[in-house]
Amino acid sequence: MQLYSEEQNISHLILDIFRRPVYLFLSLFFSPSFRLCLQYRVESMMLRIAKPMNYIPVTPSVQQRSQMRAPQCVPLIMEPESRFYSNSVLVLDFQSLYPSIVIAYNYCFSTCLGHVENLGKYDEFKFGCTSLRVPPDLLYQIRHDITVSPNGIAFVKVGDSIVHKARETLERAIKLVNDTKKWGARVVYGDTDSMFVLLKGATKEQSFKIGQEIAEAVTATNPKPVKLKFEKVYLPCVLQTKKRYVGYMYETLDQKDPVFDAKGIETVRRDSCPAVSKILERSLKLLFETRDISLIKQYVQRQCMKLLEGKASIQDFIFAKEYRGSASYKPGACVPALELTRKMLTYDRRSEPRVGERVPYVIIYGAPGVPLIQLVRRPVEVLQDPTLRLNATYYITKQILPPLARIFSLIGIDVFSWYHELPRIQKATSSSRSELEGRKGTIAQYFTTLHCPVCDDLTQHGICSKCRSQPQHVAVILNQEIRELERQQERLVKSSHHYFSLNPDRAAILSILSTVARAFSPKSRYARTAQAALIDISHVFL
């Protein structure tokens, strides 16, 4: 019997209160209704209304869909002027543009007659995935109410007309902004229902004033309820490519501290490791706040050196990709989540992740010429095996630097040259010599340069000669490091237990947090380094 705390019982009671009304209103169960797309929920409500009126929806088959004409119009998505903008960039967006177009121009399948060339004929013609007939007598009766839309261009279905009218509305707004001289504005990017307007030399106060004027002027040129809303000001910002931009956002005139706002770039995406997002975000903030490239260079090189020296936290370099089920992958697919699952199934057939569960993994060093898929390991394997090390070259050249290069190349900076300027460091494994005798597998494990764990000087003997003359000092320093790691582990375990006591159903994140917790255990990489050094000292001085 499972017992819940008082907070959990209250949460379950609230969910039960909401479950029944939502089911009655949407004809959907409460839990999946939040995960399903908006279209599914809208269709559920429409079906519930249509059924008492004896209407049924048309459900086209795959063959019917394949026979439909291709769309004749696509939304307007401009290619942005990719660069760093130190001036104000206004962001204006049409509120619910497509529904507003439908209401403003009365677009509906029940009033759509199809192509102009098919009107006035007795024969049926193709209309979407079905057919339609508009005889001459009907056409004569409604001759005064016919509208050819949009602008004489015949459309296949209502969707084409809505998209074209929305595109026409956005193009008209862009032309109005560019032609109005008093604003001194220029549209640098447009995307479906929004536009980015550059104001050269304008202050923040002037930007908000001009933004409101543009919104009011464009709204006045369109029928109700089409409305252009002035959303925010970017100062400064970077427009990278379509649907990828980032900047410091101001939403109100009295806002003093800007908000870091990013769309489409690695800081908000989940297909890379956390280190990529953190380094990119910090670099962009330094660019926006200081405009000093030297500070950004120092920061990036410092983060790369931490990884090369083996001092970076493993939790920042863990990838987590969704597992789609063994039947969803093609034969021979090289997918890390699938590869790790196959290895886990060899020793436990019940260890297969659930479909949609994220599988954590890291990339390690391997022998030259080994495929990347064979370098994939679970984080716990790296923590338990001292011969495995994070592949710093892969993480830096394939994960960290490419996103930075896409941003800073817009201002003529080569970030890869920053990495080439760094000294090459090869850290030795922390295990004792006897433990490694039969485990050496790569050339990097034979030729190693070890940093002294006390003073960080280069040495070939684990502990440098200077520190060997002070064994008591070395023992105290390394024991303090072990105690600090134990305290960090205890704090992390307590916080994770408290979190999951309030969220008992989120088991997918538990595996990742437990892996991170192991990184702070006394048997982790850094603790093993200190313990191995103490063993070496005991052999030398005792």
Q: Does a structural domain hold residue 445?
A: no
Q: Are residues 294 and 217 in the same domain?
A: no
CATH number of domain containing 99 = 3.90.1600.10
pLDDT of residue 153: 37
Q: Distance (Å, rounded) from C-alpha 51 to C-alpha 26?
A: 14
Give the range of the structural domain holding residue 482, as residue numbers without chain letter. 450-541
What is the rounded average pLDDT for all residues in the chain?
Answer: 78
Residues 6+ apart with CB under 8 A from 527: 481, 482, 485, 521
Same domain, 469 and 408: no
The share of the chain scoring above pLDDT 70, in percent, equals 70
Mean pLDDT, rounded, for 264-278? 91
Within this chain, do residues 25 and 111 fall inside the same structural domain, yes or no? no
pLDDT of 94 strictly over 60: yes
Mean pLDDT value across residues 98-114:
78
Residue 105 shares a structural domain with residue 222: yes
pLDDT confidence of residue 199 = 94
* pLDDT tens-place string over residues 328-377: 888 888 888 888 888 888 888 888 888 888 899 999 998 888 898 999 99
- Predicted confidence (pLDDT) at residue 463 exceeds the cutoff of 80: no
Q: Please report, for the domain that includes residue 380, its CATH number.
A: 1.10.132.60
Q: What is the pLDDT at residue 283?
A: 96
| Alpha-carbon Rg for the chain in angstroms | 31
- CA distances 390 to 7, 158, 265, Å, are 41, 55, 25
- Torsion, CA 277, CA 282, CA 286, CA 287, rounded to 10: 0
Measured between its terminal Cα atoms, the distance across the chain in Å is 57
Q: Is residue 1 part of a domain?
A: no
Number of domains in the chain: 4
Chain-centroid distance, C-alpha 455: 40
515 and 376 in one domain? Answer: no
Task: Report d(CA 171, CA 173) in Å as an integer.
Answer: 5
Counting Cβ atoms within 10 Å, is residue 189 exposed (0-12), middle (13-18) or buried (19+)?
buried
385/418 same-domain check: yes
- Same domain, residue pair 337 and 408: yes
For the whole model, what pTM was predicted? 0.71
Residue 433, pLDDT score: 46
